[in-house]
Chain A
């Protein structure tokens, strides 16, 4: 009997933690001052939050139905793979469009070339310039 009480507590903890992390990520996105700062909230905190909620759901259906299900794990895995990729593309888009940013945010990572952050035009050797 106590077994189920402990499991219920674990599931409730994961649910509340997931909701709190999702809320904190969205709060960061709504509150912070420039685009590169806003990118931090959704890409890290929200992904962790939905991971917690999906783990809670998987545990709940495991306890109630008696066998584990792969589907929630699949959603978690897919989100954990795709979140960094979309964040990288969003950051590249922000650099390309030369968004306004406050002075502390550099906006000039050393590993990117000059034409990737919009400082120089993209060379086109086949069209005769570049």
Chain B
């Protein structure tokens, strides 16, 4: 049961990432692309956690935490750049 649920969840997360790539390439404006990147890092954290369940190891959770922190900081930095024309004033 867990095996099938893991496969379904992996397939759904990969489909979500493909939709993010669609919005990243098509997105008419800059904030749309930024939103797509923001969602992509969240979905990639989900993918890393599912890979940890698949391989039955906890090694990769540090990388998930790292991606969470750096993704948030980069989103805030690009937003700040678009809002003010500068990151650190």
Query: Are B46 and A18 closer than 8 Å at their CB atoms?
Result: yes
| Interface: B87 (CB within 8 A) | no
Query: Are B31 and A97 closer than 8 Å at their CB atoms?
Result: yes
Residue-by-residue, is A9-52 near B (CB-CB < 8 Å gives 1, otherwise 0)?
10111011011101101110110000100110110001101100
Query: Are A92 and B75 closer than 8 Å at their CB atoms?
Result: no
B62 proximity list for chain A (CB < 8 A):
71
Tell me the chain A residues, 45-102 only, with Cβ under 8 Å from chain B: 46-47, 49-50, 53-54, 56-57, 60-61, 64, 69, 71-72, 74-75, 78-79, 82-83, 85-86, 89-90, 92-94, 96-97, 99-100
Size range of the interface on B? 35 or more
Query: Are B38 and A42 closer than 8 Å at their CB atoms?
Result: yes
Q: Given A75-B68, A96-B83, A97-B31, are A57 and B36 also a contact pair (CB < 8 Å)? A: no
Number of interface residues of A (CB under 8 A): 53
B75 proximity list for chain A (CB < 8 A):
86, 89-90
Overall SS of chain A's interface: helix
Considering the complex, give the chain B residue whose CB is closest to the CB of A57: B49
B5 proximity list for chain A (CB < 8 A):
11-13, 15-16
Tell me the chain B residues, 46-89 only, with Cβ under 8 Å from chain A: 46, 49-50, 52-53, 56, 58, 61-62, 64-65, 68-69, 72, 75-76, 79-80, 82-83
From A39, A50, A71, contact of B42 by CB (8 A): A50
Query: Are A23 and B2 closer than 8 Å at their CB atoms?
Result: no
A13 proximity list for chain B (CB < 8 A):
5
Query: Are A99 and B42 closer than 8 Å at their CB atoms?
Result: no
Query: Are A61 and B64 closer than 8 Å at their CB atoms?
Result: no
- Interface positions of B (Cβ within 8 A of A): 1-2, 4-6, 8-13, 15-17, 19-20, 22-23, 28-32, 34-36, 38-39, 42-43, 45-46, 49-50, 52-53, 56, 58, 61-62, 64-65, 68-69, 72, 75-76, 79-80, 82-83
